[in-house]
Amino acid sequence: MLRFRSSFYGVLSLSALSRIYAVQGHVDVIKTSWKEVKKRMPVKRLGRPPFLSVNEVEDSDVFVIAEPPYLVDAEHSKYGRERYRIVVKKPEDREFGLRTLTLNTTTSNRLLEAFGEDEKLWIGRKIRIRKHAEYVLGKQRFVLYGEPYVDPQKPLEVEQ
């Protein structure tokens, strides 16, 4: 319920679905339907995107980091260890959308070494995902490893 003070009508109470127009000292209230409200409201993502599945990845797929990495504490992690997570997207596939990737220790160390400690500098960087079959807790599973992606068409920068 919205309330506002008008010099002509005192205090008026309006629902959230009302538009207020003040023209030449007169206040007009026009009702708005939910359909119109839905059209005008920007849709925002709630929570994090779904996790990147092994089935969605081919070996050597390239992804772009869309958001800065964030740390998940050990009690909220799957295997009881602190892990970083990043939100990634496929640069050539707009329909793929955003996915969350939990970084294992190897991937985390590789990306940290390549991109640095400032998490804002990670946004827009490309990573290549490698898919390996390994034993995890006694079962053979595919494990995703990430590494910084260097475009083969661009010359490498040499530090002197």
Residues of the chain with pLDDT under 70: 1-45, 155-160
What pLDDT is recorded for position 20? 53
- Nearest-Å Rg of the Cα atoms of the chain is 25
Domains of the chain in start order, with CATH, are 2-40 (no CATH), 54-148 (2.40.50)
**54-100 pLDDT, tens per residue?**
999 999 999 999 999 999 988 887 778 899 999 999 998 888 899 99
What is the pTM assigned to this prediction? Answer: 0.65
Phi then psi for 112, rounded to 5 degrees? -65, -40
What pLDDT is recorded for position 9? 46
Distances in whole angstroms, Cα of residue 57 to Cα of each of 97, 98, 111, 128, 150: 13, 13, 19, 10, 19
Task: Report whether 87 contacts 70 (CB < 8 A).
Answer: no
What pLDDT is recorded for position 23? 52
What pLDDT is recorded for position 122? 95
151: amino acid identity, one letter: D
